[in-house]
Amino acid sequence: MIALWIMLGVVTFLLLLLLLPVRLSVRYADGQWRVRAGYAFVMIQLLPAKEKKPRKPRSEKPKKEKPGKPPRPSLIKQVAEKDGVGGVLSLFGEIARLALTAVKKVFAITTLSRLRVRLAVGAPEAADAALLYGKLCAGVYPAFAVMNGLFHIKRPQLDIKPDFSRQTVAADVDIRARIIPLRLLPVALWALLHVSALNGQE
């Protein structure tokens, strides 16, 4: 009975760990990128990277190579020997399709708690600023709509304005994403099954 309670406690603890979000924060302002990643309540700064102290080189001893079994030929080599170039291209196409589908599944369970893009469009000449403003609107708004379809966005904000007092374009981007690890398990299982099936077919 005690062992059962211990097992239930371990499973509950692991489940709680899988329910804590993995977070990513990306900020661009004043020409600088700031990227932070974290899990639960801990965040680590990735950009700008902190300077590390140089480590003293370690003297490595030469490793003795142990005789072993000959390496198994890769899947690509097996397909090339069996079906030629056409089989390899077909394999690459199938891998690309699986990868794209997996990425879409991950995007679908990713929540963007904040997606804010602010652009102040300026140029040396007012006519150039107006032309650049039109081009940015034609490109950014459709891209924003695509992102809104890929992710679950809570607070989307997009603001593009002409600023004839500026000589260049000023951008302020703030993206905050989070994902629950437990929701990744079905995606990982789906990918594993399809890769295993692909390997079994070849």
How many other β-carbons are positioned within 10 Å of the β-carbon of residue 103?
12
Task: Give the count of domains, the chain.
Answer: 1
E strand intervals along the chain: 22-29, 32-39, 42-47, 111-121, 152-153, 156-162, 170-179
User: How does pLDDT run along the chain (202 residues), one tens digit per residue?
Assistant: 788 888 888 889 888 989 999 999 999 988 899 999 999 888 899 988 777 666 766 666 666 656 556 666 566 666 666 666 666 677 788 888 888 999 999 999 999 999 999 999 999 888 999 999 999 999 999 998 898 888 989 888 999 999 888 888 999 999 999 999 999 999 989 988 887 877 665 5
pTM: 0.73
pLDDT for 121: 92
Question: What's the Cα-to-Cα distance from 138 to each of 120, 156, 169, rounded to whole Å?
Answer: 15, 18, 16
Q: Is 130 helix (H, G, I), strand (E, B) or coil?
A: helix
How many other β-carbons are positioned within 10 Å of the β-carbon of residue 121?
24
Q: How far apart are the first and last CA of the chain?
A: 48
Beta strands at 156-162 and 111-121: parallel, antiparallel or unpaired? parallel
Single-letter amino acid, residue 72? R
* Cα–Cα distance, 80 to 88 (Å, whole number): 6
* Cα–Cα distance, 153 to 175 (Å, whole number): 10
Q: Is residue 38 part of a domain?
A: no
Contact 165, 124 (CB under 8 A): no
Q: Which residues of 28-51 are buried (b: 16+ CB within 10 A; e: fewer)?
A: eeeeeeebebbeeeeeeebeeeee
pLDDT for 48: 84
- Domain carrying residue 194: 76-172+182-201
Q: Is residue 193 part of a domain?
A: yes
Q: Is residue 39 part of a domain?
A: no
Q: Is residue 105 part of a domain?
A: yes
